[in-house]
Amino acid sequence: MTRLRLDLAYDGTDFAGWARQPGLRTVQGCVEDALAQVLRLAQSPTIVCAGRTDAGVHARGQVAHVEVDAAIDLSALARSLRGVLPDDLSLLDVSIAPEGFDARFSALSRHYRYRVCDDPGSWDPLLRREVVAHPRPLDIEAMNAAGAALIGEHDFAALCKPREGASTVRRVLDLSWTRGSAGHAEMTVGADAFCHSLVRSIVGVLVPVGDGRQSTVWPAEVLASRARDPRVTVMPPHGLVLEHVRYPEDADLAARQEVTRAFRGPA
Amino acid sequence: MTRLRLDLAYDGTDFAGWARQPGLRTVQGCVEDALAQVLRLAQSPTIVCAGRTDAGVHARGQVAHVEVDAAIDLSALARSLRGVLPDDLSLLDVSIAPEGFDARFSALSRHYRYRVCDDPGSWDPLLRREVVAHPRPLDIEAMNAAGAALIGEHDFAALCKPREGASTVRRVLDLSWTRGSAGHAEMTVGADAFCHSLVRSIVGVLVPVGDGRQSTVWPAEVLASRARDPRVTVMPPHGLVLEHVRYPEDADLAARQEVTRAFRGPA
């Protein structure tokens, strides 16, 4: 068997998220079924991804791996997969995974972008599936000042949906808001990993600072409480895009996998 | 009565084009009906636009005008219109039109963008409604070399759907292909005006140069023939976006209107 690396992009609008669920249209289900179809497998293979996006969340740089029969023609496989994948899901690349590569456990960091349009005069109907409308203008500087408190290693229990037995400690590597070319407020954020709904909760705790409903220190206070705060809105999924996933140099892939597994425990 | 200028953006996917047609969902129909609804008019007013886009063609900078009762609260009108317009059609701005302004006849030029993805490895499902896929790689330099022959004033009869009694002479002000940030081949083109399907025919005559099926001089030969050439493909509408419309300084609006009307005859 050979491990393949798959680079994927999708419009999350019509998917019930990444993870396969019986009876629902999911990204994982579509890719696994497409692989089974083109490789003529009796049973769909299991693919593992770097970032299990929620329903409605998009990706421009999702990474996954899958085990296949060693005797495979990569370019023929790419052509066949592209022929059967639906319009809203695309295979950007397929390659032989280097030794020690695991899409989930070898990843160094995940990088997301969230976009908000805070001015009806710059609302672009062509981008309505990936930009969230907000009725009040946002102060980018205030959101950056408040967001700085979230950078670094913290227990994000206040901003996560908790999962039995799993740590809510994460390391946020960078977080910044800018005015995008179309005039939208754009947040980019990178972390070693994100717990469930963390990015959307981070946006939900910064937007009220941006529009003046909360002070710049409020997000730090919420974080410090380490308890879910009902005042924190989990923002809508469609503003969120998984932009890319970083991996170490090939020589360090296996070591990274071990570190991550030890820290986060079994999947 | 007062003339208003409306700045509009739309995702053309689900519109049967700009022009109102009985029983079809059109941009003009939607805006006129929305105006009638919020202004409580018994009959929909008639709006006039700068670029009558075809079915499936998008706009980020469409401009239109309409006559309304003089006693109007502009910001209330903007709010109300935004409340009733559908998701895929947005009012960017509404203002009192300066003296002599006519959305169609005062315009100096229309500027369009057409996008083609020529690499399956950079296909972005989130942009599939505004980017056309092409199966072969495109040579930007070759398309620019060929496109240069179309710049200037020409009789574009070879690249237009003819209209009884109307001139097919147009002045192309600029035309260039670049590699956009997402890796797509992007053409921007500006002209005093475009006859029906001209932009899509221009793309249709340049893409075969870009992928090597035709020589760089072919588009000039097609143009010189002044006759519709069956080898010219009218490219799909969804790659096309009306990006903006240029108008002269306010003092020159009326004079521009007269020049255009004299040249192109009555609408």
The pLDDT of residue B240 is above 50: yes
Nearest CA in chain A to B93: A121
Task: State the amino acid at position B25 in one-letter form.
Answer: R
Q: Is A133 on the interface with B (CB under 8 A)?
A: no
Quick one: which of B175, B185, B180 has its CA closest to B219? B175
Q: Write out the catalytic residue numbers of A.
A: 54
pLDDT value for A267:
42
pLDDT value for B264:
66
Mean pLDDT confidence for A88-117 = 96
CATH architecture of A109-246: 2-Layer Sandwich (3.30)
**CATH class belonging to B2-96:** alpha beta
Mean pLDDT confidence for A119-137 = 95
pLDDT value for B227:
86
**Contact assignment for A9 to B121 by CB distance below 8 Å:** no
What Cα–Cα distance (Å) separates residue B48 from each residue in A215, A236, B6, B88, B162? Answer: 47, 37, 10, 20, 22
Tell me what percent of the residues of chain B surpass a pLDDT of 70. Answer: 99
- DSSP class of residue B23 equals T
Q: Is A135 on the interface with B (CB under 8 A)?
A: no
**Interface residue of B123, B126, B238, B241 to substitute, partner A, most A CBs within 10 Å:** B126
Ranked by mean pLDDT, the top range of A97-106, A252-261, B222-231 is A97-106
Q: Write out the catalytic residue numbers of B.
A: 54
Contacts by B67-73 with C-beta closer than 8 Å and gap 24+? B67/B1, B67/B2, B67/B3, B67/B4, B68/B1, B68/B2, B68/B4, B68/B35, B68/B39, B69/B1, B69/B2, B69/B39, B70/B1, B70/B2, B72/B2, B72/B4, B72/B39
pLDDT tier, A266 (very low <50, low <70, confident <90, very high otherwise): very low
For residues B97 and A210, give the distance between their C-alpha atoms in angstroms, rounded to a whole number.
34
**Contact assignment for A241 to B126 by CB distance below 8 Å:** yes
**Contact assignment for B129 to A126 by CB distance below 8 Å:** yes
Which residues have a Cβ under 8 Å from the Cβ of A3 and sit 6 or more positions away?
A: A65, A66, A67, A96, A97, A101
Cβ atoms within 10 A of the Cβ of A158, count?
Answer: 20
The pLDDT of residue A265 is above 70: no
Distance from CA of A127 to the nearest CA of B (A): 8
Mean pLDDT confidence for A155-161 = 92
The pLDDT of residue A151 is above 90: yes
**Contact assignment for B9 to A125 by CB distance below 8 Å:** yes
For residues B239 and A156, give the distance between their C-alpha atoms in angstroms, rounded to a whole number.
43
pLDDT value for B71:
83
For residue range A184-205, what is the model confidence (pLDDT) as tens digits?
999 999 999 999 899 999 999 9
In terms of DSSP bridges, do strands A109-117 and B109-117 run parallel, antiparallel, or are they unpaired? unpaired
**Contact assignment for B88 to A58 by CB distance below 8 Å:** no
What Cα–Cα distance (Å) separates residue A9 from each residue in A125, B49, B128, B129? Answer: 21, 37, 12, 15
Nearest CA in chain B to A181: B181
**With helix as H, strand as E and coil as C, how does chain A read?**
CEEEEEEEEECHHHCCCCCCCCCCCCHHHHHHHHHHHHCCCCCCCCCEECCCCCCCCEEEEEEEEEEECCCCCHHHHHHHHHHHCCCCEEEEEEEECCCCCCCCCCCCEEEEEEEEECCHHHCCHHHCCCCEECCCCCCHHHHHHHHHHHCEEEECHHHCCCCCCCCCEEEEEEEEEEECCCCCEEEEEEECCCCCCHHHHHHHHHHHHHCCCCCCCHHHHHHHHCCCCCCCCCCCHHHEEEEEEECCCHHHHHHHHHHHHHHHCCC
Spell out which residues of chain B touch residue A91, defining contact as CB-CB under 8 Å. 120
- DSSP class of residue B104 equals T
* Cβ pairs A/B, distance under 8 A: 61
Cβ atoms within 10 A of the Cβ of A191, count?
Answer: 23
Q: Is B186 on the interface with A (CB under 8 A)?
A: no
Residue of B88, B120, B124 lying closest to A82 (CB–CB) = B120
**Contact assignment for B60 to A126 by CB distance below 8 Å:** yes
Q: Is A128 on the interface with B (CB under 8 A)?
A: yes
Least confident of A137-151, A197-211, B159-173: B159-173
- DSSP class of residue B198 equals H
pLDDT tier, B266 (very low <50, low <70, confident <90, very high otherwise): very low
For residues B244 and B176, give the distance between their C-alpha atoms in angstroms, rounded to a whole number.
16
Q: Is B78 on the interface with A (CB under 8 A)?
A: yes
In terms of DSSP bridges, do strands A152-155 and B169-179 run parallel, antiparallel, or are they unpaired? unpaired
- Provide the CATH number for the domain formed by B109-248 in this structure: 3.30.70.660
Answer whether B187's CB lies under 8 Å from B176's CB. Answer: yes
pLDDT value for B161:
80
For residues B225 and B229, give the distance between their C-alpha atoms in angstroms, rounded to a whole number.
8
The pLDDT of residue A164 is above 90: no
**Contact assignment for A126 to B130 by CB distance below 8 Å:** yes
pLDDT value for A22:
94
> Where exactly are the structural domains of chain A?
2-106, 109-246
For residue range B56-110, what is the model confidence (pLDDT) as tens digits?
999 999 999 999 987 889 999 999 999 999 999 999 999 999 999 999 999 999 9
Distance from CA of A123 to the nearest CA of B (A): 7
pLDDT value for B267:
42
Least confident of A129-143, A162-176, B78-92, B125-139: A162-176
The pLDDT of residue B20 is above 70: yes
Spell out which residues of chain B touch residue A95, defining contact as CB-CB under 8 Å. none
Q: Which residue has the higher pLDDT, B96 or A162?
A: B96
Radius of gyration of chain A measured on its C-alpha atoms:
19
Answer whether B29's CB lies under 8 Å from B114's CB. Answer: no
Domains B2-96 and B109-248 share a fold: yes
Distance from CA of A159 to the nearest CA of B (A): 28
pLDDT value for B79:
95
pLDDT tier, B182 (very low <50, low <70, confident <90, very high otherwise): confident
Q: Is B130 on the interface with A (CB under 8 A)?
A: yes
Residue of B87, B121, B123 lying closest to A128 (CB–CB) = B87
- Among the CATH numbers 1.20.120.80, 3.20.20.140, 3.30.70.580, 3.40.50.300, which is that of A2-106? 3.30.70.580
**Contact assignment for B92 to A123 by CB distance below 8 Å:** yes
**Contact assignment for A125 to B92 by CB distance below 8 Å:** no
Q: Is A91 on the interface with B (CB under 8 A)?
A: yes
pLDDT tier, A224 (very low <50, low <70, confident <90, very high otherwise): very high
What Cα–Cα distance (Å) separates residue B259 from each residue in B63, B145, B164? Answer: 19, 32, 21
**Contact assignment for B125 to A88 by CB distance below 8 Å:** yes
Q: Is B93 on the interface with A (CB under 8 A)?
A: yes
Mean pLDDT confidence for A130-149 = 97
